[in-house]
Structure 1
Amino acid sequence: MTALPQGKLRKTHHFALNVKDLQASRHFYGTILGLHELTGSEVPETLVELVKQGRISNFVTPDGWVLDLFWEPDLSPPNPDPEQQFTRANHLAFDIAPDAFDEAVQVLQANQVAIAQGPVSRPTGRGIYFYDPDGFLLEIRCDPEN
């Protein structure tokens, strides 16, 4: 059996989501969550035309991986009940400094983002689970404060 040795895959490069309303998702990920949207020369060469056509938007996280949002206007949710998770994906988690966690919770609440669970406290830290505009489950989490 052939397999890649551990350590060959270096990092997460990008994560792609299909979204029904690209503008609502751009606002959510760019304005509410504060991710940097790639524009101009920052857009990967292979995606420039799709960005110009308004069919995709790209955001980069502070640690350098890219979130691609693909506009699919006829997209139906996997289930009208957002608590019924996507078939294979459970959730996407963003890390935040412990001293910024409460601020993140306040931002979500102020923007009336649908909260699935939390904030919760565990031995591994604190977290809050919430939905993006298409019902995809996200988490903001932090390590325990020392």
Structure 2
Amino acid sequence: MLQSPQSLKSVLTSGDLRRVHHIALNVHDMQGSRHFYNHILGLHELTGDEVPATLVDLVAQGKVANFVTPDGTILDLFWEPDLPPPDPNPERAFTRAYHLAFDIAPELFEQAVEVLRQNQIQIAHGPVTRPTGRGVYFYDPDGFMIEIRCDPQ
């Protein structure tokens, strides 16, 4: 049962966001990145039935690779062939991260979207509904994309 907008909180509180669900990185060299995360860092690459249904085609085309960390956080690599190379000085700030996704209970998803709207947070995409759940994408004050997502009910 959905709450009316008047009865919803205007902020999310500690504990509403349950965990980091996934981190998405843009990569120029997909094969090199897959090797790094799998063989160097030892992360498990999702294959076959482990790949989320919404990403099967992109994985088959070599455009996406998915890994899981020991704590269950998903690392998504998105192939961007036109991505400029990183600065040769690794101390110089830059990012390849695409977005940071937080998980929320399905019953709190609409409330989270309303919190964004009430606080005039620019929504970039969504809310969207996929077989893997619902998500809404928005920007933090520095322009970094954040996602709040939930599993299907």
Distance 1:35 1:80, change over 3 A: same
Matches within 5 A, 1:16-95: 16-86=24-94
The separation in 2 between residues aligned to 1:88 and 1:25, in whole angstroms, is 12
Cα distance in structure 1, aligned partners of 2:32 and 2:86: 18
Moved over 4 A (4+): none
The alpha-carbon distance between structure 1 residues 84 and 36, as it changes in their structure 2 partners (threshold 3 A), is same
Counterpart CA distance in 1 for 2:47 and 2:63 is 14
Alpha-carbon RMSD across the aligned residues, in angstroms, is 1.9
Q: Tell me the residue number matched to 1:134.
A: none
1:10 aligns with 2:10: no
State the 1:87 CA deviation.
5.5
Residue of structure 2 equivalent to 1:100: none
Q: TM-score, normalised by structure 1?
A: 0.57
CA distance in structure 2 between the aligned counterparts of 1:60 and 1:87, rounded to whole angstroms: 21
Tell me the residue number matched to 1:144: none
More strand by share: 2
- Could you tell me which amino acid in structure 1 is paired with residue 29 of structure 2? D
Q: 1:82 to 1:30 in 2, by over 3 A?
A: same
- Distance in 2 separating the partners of 1:8 and 1:49: 33
TM-score w.r.t. the length of structure 2 is 0.54
Structure 1: tracts of 5 or more residues without a match? 90-146
1:83 shift after superposition: 1.8
Aligned in 2, Cα 1:32/1:76: closer, same or farther, shift over 3 Å?
same
- Which 5+ residue runs of structure 2 have no aligned equivalent? 1-8, 98-153
One-letter code aligned to 2:69: T
How far apart in 1 are the matches of 2:45 and 2:17? 25
TM superposition shift of 1:88: 9.5
